[in-house]
Every structure is written in C-alpha cells, then in structure tokens.
Amino acid sequence: MKQTLLWLVFACATAAQGAAPGAPPPVPAQALKPAAQQARAAHFAAELLSRYHYTGIRLDDALSEKIFDQYLKSLDPEKTIFLQADIDHLSDARTKLDDAILKEDLSIPFAIFDLYRHRAAERFAYARTLIKRDFDFQKDESYQVVRTTEAWPDTESDMRELWRKRVKNDWLRLKLAGKDQRRIVEILDKRYADFLKRASQVKSADVFQVYMNAYTMAIEPHTNYMGPRAAENFNISMRLSLVGIGAMLTRKDDYVTIRGLVPGGPAILSGQLKIGDRILGVAQGERGAMTDILGWRLDDAVVLIRGARDSVVVLDLLPADAGPDGPRKRVSLIRKTISLDARAAKASVRVVMDGKAARRVGVISLPSFYVDFAARQKGVQDYRSASRDVERLLEELKREKVDGVLIDLRNNGGGSLAEAIDLTGLFIDQGPVVQQRNARGEVSVESDTRAGVAWDGPLAVLINRGSASASEIFAAALQDYGRGLVIGAPSFGKGTVQSVVDLDRIAKNAKPRFGELKMTVAQFFRINGGTTQLHGVKPDIVFPTGSDAEHAGESSLDNALGWAQIAAADYVPAGEMKSLLPILLKLHQTRVQKNRDFQDLREDIAESERRRRNNLISLNEAERRKERDARETRLMRRDARRDAGRRAGDAGVGKASASGKDGAIRDDGLQPGERNLATELAAEKARKDADDFLLTEAVNIVGDQVTLLQTDARFAVRNTPGNVLMPH
C-alpha cells in the first residue's frame, strides 16, 4: 500500500468544487477531538503489533520519533504548509507519541493536526489573494516540482514566495491551455476554496486514521490501520460485491452525481436514473424522512444509499439536463447485492499471424487476487474468487481452441495469498508454490495439493512495476518451475505477508468501533529460496518502463524490510524456458526495432527522466510555450502517423496510443474533478480504447512460443508438463 497522505483523506471526503469566489475560509474554529473508542483502539492495536508483527518492534521513544517524522511527512510531504518554527515548536512531541497511545490520550497527535489544518487554511487563503494580482511571465524564474527532500521554509516570507510560484505555475498552465483571465481566476479561486471546504469537513475519524497509519508505517510500509468505514470498503474490494443500488458516484459542484450504472443493478433496471443525475436527498423506506445531502462528503452519502438487502431507498433526484432550480423527481429502489464484475477476471482471444498460420492466444486480465472470505468460511459452495473465475475462463478458452495463454497481471497489487497458490495450481500438477518465514524464523512451505492442471499449453505472465505481492508469488512460481515466460517490467518488490485482524471481533464489540489492522506477519520467499522483497520479479523478456526502484516500488518506501534468502524448497521443474529465450528475444527485438510505439515510449521515458532529474519547471511563458509547442508537435506527428497506418491497414500501428488523441499527456491545466463529467468519461473511454501495444507485443511473444513448441520437437519435449526434468 502506498504511503497514506492527508490528500487522500481529503479526496475521500469529497471531490467537489466548492465555495463561491470571495467566500471566507470555511475552516471551523473548534479543534477536532479524539473519541474515547479511538484511544482504546490505538492501545489495542499497539499491543497486537508489539506481540505479533513480523519485526517484533516495541512501541517506545525510539519508535515515537519515527512516528513523529512519518506523521509530519503524511501531513506535509512537500514542505509547503509548516514553517521550520512550527516543527521546532512541535519537537517536544517527538518522544511522546508512544505515550499518547499507551496512556490512551491522543490529544498531542490531534493538536499537531489542528496546527496543520490552521496553517493549511492560511496557505490556501493566501493563494486566493494571489490570483487577483498580475504575474510577470517574462521573468526568468522557476518552480521546484518535488520538495520532499527540502527543508521547511524558515520564514513566512520564504513560505509566501513558495506559494507565489505555485500559484503562478497553476495560472501559467491554464493560460497555456487557452483559458482567458476571467476563466483562470474562476478555476483557481474555486480550486483553492475547495481545499478550504474539504478541510472543514475532515472528521475525527480521518485524523485518527492518518495518525494510526503514521504509526504502522513507521514500523513497516505494508502494515496499515483501517477504520470501520475503510475496513468495509476493503472487504468489498476483496469479495467484489456490495449491497446497494448499483450506481457509481462522484462529487461535482457540491452534488453527489451518478457517473456510471452497474449492469443488472437496481438503478439501471429501473430505467429512471442516468449518468449525470444529481442526488439531493436520501430516505430510508417509502415513508422515511428525506435527508438533504447537498454539500455532503461522498463517503457519508454512500453510507445512506447503501443498506440491507431487499430494503427500500428513496432518492430525491435533480436530472442531468435540469438547472439548479429545475424540477426534481423521486425514485424508489430496492437494494440488491451488486456484483462488481468490472473488477473481476476477464478473457479475450487475440490472433497472431505466423506466415499463413494463425496462432490463437487467450488473454486473461486479472486486476486483483480477490476472494469472498466470509462466504468461504461459511462453507458456501459457489463463493467467488480469482482462481475460480480464472479456471472457468480457461475452460472457455479451451473451447475456443486457443494455442497459448497470457495472464495479464499489470497493476495487480495482490490480495489473497491462498488465491495466488490456487491460481498457480491451475498450471502446475502439485508441488510447493511459496515459502513463508514467520517472526520466530520458522519456515513453512505452501503447496498446491490439487492433482492435475487446468491448462498445460504455452503460457506467459505479463507484469509491470504495479504488480505486487500475490502477483509476484504467482509469477515467481511459474518462472521457477519453468512453466511459463515472465514478460514486462520488474515487479513492485513486496515480499511480505499480511494478516487482517478484526479488532472489534477480538474485543467482542457488538458493533464496528475499532476497525481492522492489516499487519505484516511473515516474509515470503520463492521456491528457489530467493525473495521478491525490494528486487521484485525480473522478467525473462523486459519491456521499457518509466518506473525505477528509486521512485517506485518497495525500495522507494520508508522502513521497507531488506532482501534475504533461505534454502530452496524441494521441487521438480515442469518445463525449461531458458532454451527458448534466445530465439524469443531475437524475434522480440526484431519486432520492436520496427515498432514506432516502442520508440515513442522510450522517447517519453527519456523525457520524463530528464524532467525528474531537473526537478524545476520554468515560469517564463515564452520558454514554457516553446516546450509545450515541441511536445504538441511530437504528439500530432504521432497521431498523423497512426492515422496513416490505420488507413493503410498496418496492423503494427493500431489505434491511437494512450499518449495520443485521448489527451492523456496534453495538459489542460485542470486537476481531477475540475473537468465536466462528459469530458472525464470521454477521456476514460479513449484510454480504454487506446491501443495497448505492450499487450500486443506480449501476445506476439506467446505466439512465437507456440510456433517454436509446435515446430521444434526439442523444445516441445523439454516444455511438456509431466516430463520429469532434473533441477540444474
């Protein structure tokens, strides 16, 4: 899990665009106070972490200092809110944050947050005054993009200079995107006022969660605290189902707005709701009182809309095409269990031509290793899980007579360890899959015990830097067994195992009050004895990537565990990929040398790396316009080339890439939530429809693999599951 920042808390609170220009800062005068159950939950979590966490680290003054630094980093990562004097003033708390938990008195961390919120209000209120001034865009000065390693400003004057450059950069981006002065003032004033409004809606539970995650991540980056609401959302993501109306919601200009309808859900089946409709009120039951939710946080509104299965919810709607004072309508819906199929495994068939021969490659995309834990524990026969869905898809692909299979695990951050083992078992006929070492140093081997395989043909796995944890277990096991190729970019490098602890269940609370703790309890190792920790899984065939170990992945996280190695497990390889690799690599390199998309990607990576090293952006309009024009020219040239390729029927050119006409790179100066809904949805569709040339090349590699195995008996014998190959 990436570092929890306060910005995420605010984003969870609302994505609205808030107060009117000129409105006073809506920051409450009264400080937030911790609830009694929060202090008890913190103490309870600390006892569990001290006893059962993999590192066995105790909560003391030394850890308190790390918590202090992590908390400040969570609140003010770019050093643009606090002054150095504030940090000096807070330094007395450096060794007292352990006592805040052990003595169940959270007043100090809440006081730190209160100072943060006060300072943030000052900064954004000042930003609003700056947009009414004129900027000199002919002056040669620059703005530092990333300030995470910088010191906090010494003086208020230094801080104001920082914010002057920040606002000037925001203004210049909008100006370069073609916005006039009136529109720029309107956008920026709303942007900064919106932050102030979001700050006013932060609750005690938000502060507590940020602080608790500063504590847990001071120990190790994948131990996290989840409050009751966050825990429920986590469980929804694992079981891929919830009880509700089947509408995807967002916040637009203080309105809870429908941005999508789930197929088969009550909302779409009613025929009365459509994308863009705004929900003004929610009532429980036909006779329930209507609760006005205008201006509410999105998560608070969602709680009202969700509910018990087969119960009635009534929505007060303002139709998408109606003005603010337009006619409303009331819609009654019966809540049902909604299956989140969009996040489940999916399969498709791609055809690769090898001369006159057509190679059919089945592609299975798996976004996460999900499982309905509760249904499985209750003994439900048809509970949903990733491995079960993939097994069903493999049967469908076999009926479609595919020659090879590619498992796409890009950006799959993991999930259930048991599902990673079961998924591996679909491709190997019994044997160890992963090793675990617990806090006592004891090593256990987790194995696939199910006889037979669901697919014994050519196989590959596609990964990238976003493939983590369970994805790495699966990819590493197939690589160690020689069962399939691993293609793409090095994976994330998360080699730890977490157990989710329901604090309320242990405390025997009747209702959710304490939340859940996702705690690292072991480190996992490959069956060859190595670990994916820090290093990740290295692909057999590597694709270019803009992510590197320094800026992305486990090694970029604070307090990450180190790399280690143990003895290999007792296993017998199921195939031998090394003999295929030289030929596959040569075929791959020949293709990509002619592939302009790969060349464009390398060009973009080099440019991105140049900007990252420089870490400065010019605030001179002429210089920025020159850079923008060069970038636009480059993108238009790519678009023209792709258009020409499509007209010529060039299969190697394909559709516009994600850097082309969909505007993914072209800077409109706007931030998420500031574009109208139609524009956002159109951009999402364009990204979805864009040519995935990395996937296409991975499919081509599987096609090459199929050809070699079908035409060369030497390779076929060495890569047939069931043939016993001695380790080498």
Provide DSSP, 526-551.
-TTS---TTT-PPPSEEPP-S--TTT
Q: Express as a percent the part of the chain with pLDDT over 90.
A: 82
Lowest mean pLDDT among 77-86, 306-315, 661-670, 679-688: 661-670
**pLDDT confidence tier of residue 655, bands split at 50, 70 and 90:** very low
pLDDT the model gives residue 716: 54
pLDDT the model gives residue 638: 86
Provide the token pair at 136: 């000199």
**pLDDT confidence tier of residue 467, bands split at 50, 70 and 90:** very high
pLDDT of residue 437 exceeding 70: yes
Q: 723 vs 313, which has greater pLDDT?
A: 313
Q: Residue 198 region, left (φ>0) first, then alpha (ψ -120 to 50), else beta? A: alpha
pLDDT (tens digit, 9 = 90+) per residue, 125-159? 999 999 988 999 999 999 999 999 999 999 999 99
pLDDT (tens digit, 9 = 90+) per residue, 590-620? 999 999 999 999 999 999 999 999 999 999 9
240 SS3 class: coil
Q: Which of 189, 194, 206, 480 is catalytic?
A: 480
Compute the average pLDDT of residues 619-631. Answer: 94
CB atoms within 10 A of CB 586: 11
For the chain, give percent helix, strand, coil, nearest 5.
45, 15, 40
All residues at 6 or more sequence positions from 29 whose CB lies less than 8 Å from its CB, including other chains: none
Half-sphere exposure of 357 (CA within 13 A, CB side): 11
pLDDT (tens digit, 9 = 90+) per residue, 99-108? 999 999 999 9
Q: Which of 469, 618, 657, 659 is catalytic?
A: 469
**pLDDT confidence tier of residue 322, bands split at 50, 70 and 90:** very high
Half-sphere exposure of 192 (CA within 13 A, CB side): 28
pLDDT the model gives residue 406: 98
Q: Express as a percent the part of the chain with pLDDT over 70.
A: 90
**φ and ψ at residue 567, rounded to 5 degrees:** -70, 150
Provide the token pair at 254: 């203080």
Compute the average pLDDT of residues 421-432. Answer: 97
Rounded CA-CA distance 417/524 in Å is 10
pLDDT the model gives residue 11: 35
Contact of 232 with 244, CB cutoff 8 Å: no
pLDDT the model gives residue 546: 80
Q: Which of 447, 494, 662, 692 is catalytic?
A: 494
Rounded CA-CA distance 454/642 in Å is 39
pLDDT (tens digit, 9 = 90+) per residue, 7-40? 333 333 333 333 333 344 445 557 899 999 999 9
pLDDT of residue 724 exceeding 70: no
3-class secondary structure per residue, 78-98 = CCCCCCHHHHHHHHHHCCCHH
Compute the average pLDDT of residues 684-692. Answer: 90
pLDDT (tens digit, 9 = 90+) per residue, 342-378? 999 999 999 999 888 899 999 999 999 999 999 999 9
Does residue 346 carry a catalytic annotation? no
3-class secondary structure per residue, 465-510 = CCCCCHHHHHHHHHHHHCCCEEEECCCCCCCEEEEEEEHHHHHCCC
**pLDDT confidence tier of residue 723, bands split at 50, 70 and 90:** very low
241 SS3 class: strand
pLDDT the model gives residue 17: 30
**pLDDT confidence tier of residue 576, bands split at 50, 70 and 90:** confident
Rounded CA-CA distance 82/70 in Å is 14
Mean pLDDT across the chain:
90
Q: Which residue, among 499, 564, 497, has the nearest Cα to 534 in the 3D structure?
A: 564
pLDDT the model gives residue 602: 93
CB atoms within 10 A of CB 640: 11
Q: How many DSSP H helices and E strands does the chain contain?
A: 23, 21
pLDDT of residue 401 exceeding 90: yes
N-to-C CA span, the chain = 37
pLDDT the model gives residue 126: 97
Compute the average pLDDT of residues 621-642. Answer: 89
Contact of 526 with 434, CB cutoff 8 Å: yes
Compute the average pLDDT of residues 83-97. Answer: 97
pLDDT (tens digit, 9 = 90+) per residue, 272-302? 999 999 999 999 999 999 999 999 999 999 9
pLDDT the model gives residue 651: 47
pLDDT (tens digit, 9 = 90+) per residue, 505-559? 999 999 999 999 999 999 999 999 999 999 999 999 999 988 766 678 999 999 9
Rounded CA-CA distance 69/339 in Å is 41
Compute the average pLDDT of residues 433-457. Answer: 96
Q: Which residue, among 129, 200, 118, has the nearest Cα to 160 in the 3D structure?
A: 129
pLDDT the model gives residue 230: 95
Does residue 179 carry a catalytic annotation? no
Q: Kindly list the distances between the CA atom of residue 421 and the CA atoms of 263, 432, 481, 494, 584, in Å, as whole numbers in the listed order.
A: 31, 9, 14, 16, 28
Domains of the chain plus CATH, in order, are: 6-219 (no CATH), 241-339 (2.30.42.10), 342-581 (3.90.226.10), 598-651+656-690 (no CATH)
Rounded CA-CA distance 380/378 in Å is 6
pLDDT the model gives residue 642: 76
Nearest 10 degrees: Cα torsion 105, 109, 111, 117: -150
Compute the average pLDDT of residues 73-95. Answer: 97
Does residue 688 carry a catalytic annotation? no
Rounded CA-CA distance 165/176 in Å is 16
Rounded CA-CA distance 685/667 in Å is 18
Compute the average pLDDT of residues 45-72. Answer: 97
pLDDT the model gives residue 719: 52
Compute the average pLDDT of residues 238-263. Answer: 96
Half-sphere exposure of 304 (CA within 13 A, CB side): 24
Longest dimension (CA), the chain: 78
Provide the token pair at 715: 């390779």
Contact of 225 with 70, CB cutoff 8 Å: no
Q: Kindly list the distances between the CA atom of residue 151 and the CA atoms of 71, 74, 75, 99, in Å, as whole numbers in the listed order.
A: 16, 15, 15, 28
Rounded CA-CA distance 84/152 in Å is 5
pLDDT the model gives residue 649: 61
**φ and ψ at residue 616, rounded to 5 degrees:** -135, 145
Compute the average pLDDT of residues 689-706. Answer: 96
Q: Which residue, among 515, 464, 475, has the nearest Cα to 234 in the 3D structure?
A: 515
pLDDT the model gives residue 720: 52
pTM given for the model:
0.91
